[in-house]
Amino acid sequence: MRGWRGLALVLLIAFLLPGGVVAQGLGQPDGGLRQEYAPSRSGGISLDQAVRRVAERTDGRVLSARTIRRGGREIHQVRVLVAQGRVRVFDVDARSGEIR
């Protein structure tokens, strides 16, 4: 059982190393962002814009991003690997662009 934990840890670290994160889209003309990053239906900022704002603010590595509905509002959730290997989730209001 102990060997499996070590293997799981190695695989997790390997995934988090450069090249293991698809969201960065290095070398791709669209920055690796697909149609799911289309402008918000609410007329505010797109998921792509939210990802860029959070990345600039945190200087971290974006792991994933998605748009959800909460309380009748669109919220862009952006998961970021920040200093000391911590993962933080930022909520960005799709209408105002406010980062929480």
Which pTM value belongs to this model?
Answer: 0.59
Q: Where are the domains of the chain?
A: 2-93
Give CA–CA dist 45/72, Å, rounded. Answer: 16
The mean per-residue pLDDT over the stretch 9-37 comes to 46
For the stretch 80-87, contacts whose Cβ atoms lie closer than 8 Å and that sit 24 or more positions apart, written own/partner, are 80/54, 80/55, 81/16, 81/21, 82/58, 85/16, 87/63
Tens of pLDDT, residues 74-97: 999 999 999 889 999 999 999 999
Choose between 2 and 73: higher pLDDT. Answer: 73
Q: What is the mean pLDDT of the chain?
A: 75
Choose between 31 and 27: higher pLDDT. Answer: 31
